[in-house]
C-alpha cells in the first residue's frame, strides 16, 4: 500500500510540473506578443531563417562558380568570423552613444547587402570582403536584439522572453534546408536576392508598423 501511494504521488507531481511548464510557456508567449516592443523584436528575429539560406550558397559559390578549393572555403568562413569579432568590437566601442534602432538597421543592411555582394562576387577577394561584411552585420544584430529585449522585459518575464528569442534564432539552421532547395531549383544569384530582400522587407514593415520600436 505504501509503495502504491508513493507511485501515485510521483505521477501526480509530474503532472503538476508539466502543467506548470505549459502554463509558463503560455504566459511567456502572451506577455511577449502583447508587449509593443518585444513583439516586433521577436518578429524581426524570425528573419534568421532567411539569414540561414545563404549558407548552402557558400561552398557552391567557392567551388563551382569561382573554381577554388576547400582552403578558400575555409578562408571565407574565417573572414566571417573576423567580421563578427570586428562587429563585437564596434558595439563595445560605441556603447550607448548610438541608438539601438540605428545599430539594428545598419546591421540588417550590412548583413543582407553583404549576402547579395557575395552571391554576385566576380572574384575571391570580393567574396572575402563580403563575408567579412556579413560577419560584422550578423554579430551586431545578434548582440543588439537580446540587449533590447532584456531592457524592456520585466524581471519575472525576462528569462522566458530570451528563451523565445533563441527559439526564433534557431530557425537560422532551418534556413539551410530552404536555402539548399532554392539553390538547387534556381541559381546562386536568385537565392541570395530572395533571402536578403525577404529579410529586409520583413524588417522594414515591422519597424514602420511599430511606433514604440522607432523611439528606441
* Residues 140 and 205 placed together within one structural domain of the fold: yes
- Which triple of cell numbers denotes residue 185? 531549383
* Residues 106 and 184 placed together within one structural domain of the fold: yes
* Residues 30 and 102 placed together within one structural domain of the fold: no
* Residues 193 and 90 placed together within one structural domain of the fold: yes
* Residues 24 and 122 placed together within one structural domain of the fold: no
Domains in the chain, number: 2
* Residues 203 and 137 placed together within one structural domain of the fold: yes
What is the C-alpha to C-alpha distance for residues 38 and 152, in angstroms, rounded to an integer?
7
Residue 145 belongs to domain with CATH number = 1.20.1250.20
> Residue 45's domain spans which residues?
36-214
* Residues 103 and 4 placed together within one structural domain of the fold: no
pLDDT in 10s for each residue of the chain, 216 residues: 444 444 454 454 545 445 577 777 788 788 888 888 889 999 998 888 998 898 999 999 999 988 888 899 999 999 999 999 999 898 888 877 788 888 888 998 999 999 999 999 999 999 999 999 999 998 888 888 888 888 888 888 888 888 888 888 888 888 999 999 999 999 999 999 999 999 999 999 998 988 888 887
* Residues 74 and 151 placed together within one structural domain of the fold: yes
Q: Tell me how far apart the 2 most distant CA atoms of the chain are, in Å.
A: 78
Amino acid at each position: 500500500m505504501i509503495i502504491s501511494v508513493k507511485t501515485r504521488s510521483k505521477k501526480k507531481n509530474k503532472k503538476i510540473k508539466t502543467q506548470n511548464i505549459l502554463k509558463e510557456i503560455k504566459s511567456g508567449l502572451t506577455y511577449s506578443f502583447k508587449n509593443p516592443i518585444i513583439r516586433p523584436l521577436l518578429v524581426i528575429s524570425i528573419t534568421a531563417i532567411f539569414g540561414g539560406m545563404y549558407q548552402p550558397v557558400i561552398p557552391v559559390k567557392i567551388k563551382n562558380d569561382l573554381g577554388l578549393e576547400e582552403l578558400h572555403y575555409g578562408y571565407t568562413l574565417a573572414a566571417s568570423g573576423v567580421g563578427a569579432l570586428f562587429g563585437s568590437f564596434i558595439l563595445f566601442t560605441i556603447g550607448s552613444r548610438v541608438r539601438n534602432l540605428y545599430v539594428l538597421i545598419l546591421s540588417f543592411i550590412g548583413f543582407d547587402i553583404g549576402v547579395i555582394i557575395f552571391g554576385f562576387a566576380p572574384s575571391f577577394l570580393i567574396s572575402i570582403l563580403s563575408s567579412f561584411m556579413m560577419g560584422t552585420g550578423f554579430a551586431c544584430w545578434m548582440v543588439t536584439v537580446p540587449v533590447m529585449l532584456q531592457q524592456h522585459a520585466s524581471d519575472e518575464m525576462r528569462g522566458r522572453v530570451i528563451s523565445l528569442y533563441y527559439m526564433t534564432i534557431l530557425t537560422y539552421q532551418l534556413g539551410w534546408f530552404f536555402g539548399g532547395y532554392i539553390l538547387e531549383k534556381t541559381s546562386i544569384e536568385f537565392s541570395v536576392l530572395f533571402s536578403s530582400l525577404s529579410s529586409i522587407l520583413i524588417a522594414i514593415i515591422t519597424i514602420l508598423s511599430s511606433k514604440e520600436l522607432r523611439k528606441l
